[in-house]
Amino acid sequence: MDILKIIVTIVFIALGVALSVIVLLQEGKSSGLGSLSGSMDTYWSKNKGRSAEGNLEKATKYIAIGFMLLAVVLNLPVFQ
């Protein structure tokens, strides 16, 4: 059981580092003073799901879910 806890802990740490890196790679959501007049719908904002930024958002979501699940698993009484 100790080897399983070590493996899960290593994966947990790797997910934490990956989550930090992916969050830092993402662009900010603020548009500066240009957003005061209203939202701008551009081609890139409409097709964001297929762009690199959209892929980073999807990866962030899945890695965050995995990180939270592993946090719960590591706190189960079986691993303590």
CA 27 and chain centroid, separation: 13
* Mean local confidence (pLDDT), 52-66: 92
> Six-digit token pair at 79?
């691993």
Mean pLDDT of the residues in the chain: 83
> Would you state the pLDDT for residue 49?
61
Q: What are the pLDDT digits (tens) for 27-55? A: 776 655 555 555 555 655 556 667 888 89
Instruction: Read off the amino acid at residue 37.
Output: S
User: Which residues lie closer than 8 Å to 49 by C-beta, 6 or more apart?
Assistant: 58
Domain boundaries, the chain: 1-23+62-70
Q: Is the pTM of this model over 0.75?
A: no
Instruction: Read off the amino acid at residue 9.
Output: T
Q: What is the C-alpha separation between 47 and 38, in angstroms, rounded?
A: 19
> Would you state the pLDDT for residue 69?
97
